């Protein structure tokens, strides 16, 4: 079945980097986009950015520009999100989500990974 | 950035109740609006896309409506498994933004 499986929990020191993986199965990665969304403890959802698995084009949230890089490896159907210069307020669960396009420019996150807890302390 | 504001932030309801959650965008987004359900410790789950389209596999008691700046998610008859948090999200422009969430609790 269609699923996204993420890498395990991470504990990092302030100033370090983290790279979270998201392996797709049950569909062709390059036919969809991948977005990353994070959720701080007890808080709401925050969009971090997206990558086209087809051509590698990216859009990042302005507040993360310069610290985040999203990539894909089509040979392994895996997407990656790297966040650098970690701070305590980066502590959150990080989700990858498949972006499905519905026409007329509409899209939605229809399949989600299970989430990866990143603790910065 | 487009601000998404949900109301209420939380509500208490009983099984069988009709529940309505509202989402307002800070500018017109046509029907570029999605709704998600999230249970504690789980990933969000897509319920409605493009304002009124039921995602495959989602029970028909969920429905969405609205366009422009005002949107509504309705649960026609609340079931025990529906107690969760609900988020709206605009897909009109980047950055994609979410509402702050509505927590539906058992009365």
pLDDT, one tens digit per residue, over B60-80 is: 999 999 999 999 999 999 999
Render pLDDT for A15-27 as a digit per residue (tens, 0 to 9): 999 999 999 999 9
Residue A103 has pLDDT above 90, yes or no: no
pLDDT for residue A105 is more than 90: no
Average pLDDT over residues B41-49: 98
Nearest CA-CA partner of B23 in B84, B65, B53, B57? B65
Verify whether the Cβ–Cβ distance A112 to B97 is below 8 Å.
no
What pLDDT score was predicted for residue B63? 98
* pLDDT tops 90 at residue B32: yes
**Which of B10, B37, B95 is the best mutation test for A, with the most CBs of A within 10 A?**
B95
The predicted pLDDT at position B17 comes to 97
Determine the Cα–Cα distance for residues A61 and A57; give it in Å rounded to an integer.
Answer: 14
Q: Nearest chain B residue to A95 by CA: give it.
A: B43
Contacts of residue A103, defined as CB under 8 A and 6 or more positions apart, other chains included, come to none
Q: What's the pLDDT band for A107 if we cut at 50, 70, 90?
A: very high
Asked if the Cβ–Cβ distance from B91 to A108 is below 8 Å, we say yes
- Record: contact B89-A45, CB cut-off 8 A: yes
- The answer to whether residues B101 and A44 touch, using CB atoms and an 8 Å cutoff, is yes
Mind telling me how many Å the CA of A65 is from chain B's nearest CA? 12
Cα separation, B88 vs B98, in Å, equals: 6
Note whether B59 and B78 are within 8 A (CB).
Answer: no
Strand partners of residue B38: B85
Residue of A nearest to B89 (CA): A108
Distance from CA of B15 to the nearest CA of A (A): 25
pLDDT tens-digit series, residues A46-85: 999 999 999 999 999 999 999 999 999 999 999 999 999 9
Looking at residue B95, its pLDDT comes to: 96
Residue A79 and residue A53 in contact, taking contact as beta carbons nearer than 8 Å = yes
Which candidate, A86, A88, A80, A61, places its Cα nearest to that of A20?
Answer: A80
pLDDT band at A104 (very low <50, low <70, confident <90, very high): confident
User: Which token pair is A51?
Assistant: 């990558």
A102 with B34: Cβ contact below 8 A: no
pLDDT digits (tens, 9 = 90+) for A32-45: 999 999 999 999 99
Which stretches of chain B sit within 8 Å of chain A by CB? 31-32, 34, 36, 38, 43-46, 49-50, 53, 55, 87, 89, 91, 94-101
Q: How far apart are CA A96 and CA A78, in angstroms?
A: 11
Which parts of A40-115 fold into alpha helices (H)? none
């Amino acid at each position: 079945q269609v699923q996204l499986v993420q890498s395990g929990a991470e504990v990092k020191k302030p100033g370090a980097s983290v790279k979270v993986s998201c392996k797709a199965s049950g569909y062709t990665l390059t036919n969809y986009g991948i977005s990353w969304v994070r959720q701080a403890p007890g808080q709401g959802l925050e969009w971090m950015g997206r990558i086209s698995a087809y051509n590698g084009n990216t859009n990042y949230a302005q507040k993360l520009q310069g610290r985040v890089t999203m990539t894909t490896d089509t040979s392994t159907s895996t997407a990656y999100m790297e966040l650098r210069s970690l701070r305590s307020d980066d502590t959150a669960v990080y989700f990858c989500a498949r972006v499905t396009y519905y026409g007329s420019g509409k899209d939605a996150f229809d399949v989600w990974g299970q989430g990866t807890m990143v603790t910065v302390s | 950035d487009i601000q998404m504001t949900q109301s209420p932030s939380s509500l208490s309801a009983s099984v069988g109740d009709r529940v309505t959650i509202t989402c307002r965008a800070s500018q017109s987004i046509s029907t570029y609006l999605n709704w998600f359900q999230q249970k504690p410790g789980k990933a969000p789950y897509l319920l409605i896309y493009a304002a009124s389209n039921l995602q495959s596999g989602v029970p028909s008691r969920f429905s969405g409506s609205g366009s422009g700046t005002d949107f509504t998610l309705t649960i026609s008859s609340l079931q025990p498994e529906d107690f969760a948090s609900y988020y709206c999200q605009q897909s009109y422009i980047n950055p994609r933004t979410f509402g702050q969430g509505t927590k539906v609790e058992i009365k």
